Amino acid sequence: MNPSSPTSSTPNTLTIVTRESRLAMWQAHHIRDRLSVLYPQMQVKILGTTTRGDEILDQSLSKIGGKGLFVKELEVALHDGSADIAVHSLKDVPMNLPEGFTLACVTERERAQDAFISNTYHSLEDLPQGAVVGTSSLRRSAQIQARFPHIKIVALRGNLDTRFRKLDEGQFDAMILAAAGLIRLGLGERVRSLIPLEYALPAAGQGALGIEIAAHRTDLLPILQPLLCADTFACTAAERAVSRALGGSCQTPLAAHAIIDHDEIWLRASIALPDGSRVLHAQARGARDHAEDIGAQVVADLNAQGAQEILSALATWVAPEPTA
Q: Name the β-bridge partners of 114.
A: 178
| Residues 127, 151: Cα–Cα separation, whole Å | 7
| Residues 170, 231: Cα–Cα separation, whole Å | 41
Q: Produce one character per residue of 253-289: b if its CB has 16 or more CB atoms within 10 Å, e if not.
A: bbbbbbeeeeebbbbbbbbbbbebeebbbbebebebe
> Quick one: which of 102, 133, 289 has its CA closest to 210?
102
The DSSP bridge pattern shows strands 132-135 and 152-155 to be: parallel
User: Is 92 annotated in the active site?
Assistant: yes
Counting Cβ atoms within 10 Å, is residue 316 exposed (0-12), middle (13-18) or buried (19+)?
A: exposed
**Which of these is catalytic: 92, 173, 261, 301?**
92
Q: Helix, strand, or coil here: 94? A: coil
| Residues 265, 287: Cα–Cα separation, whole Å | 6
Supply the residues annotated as catalytic: 92
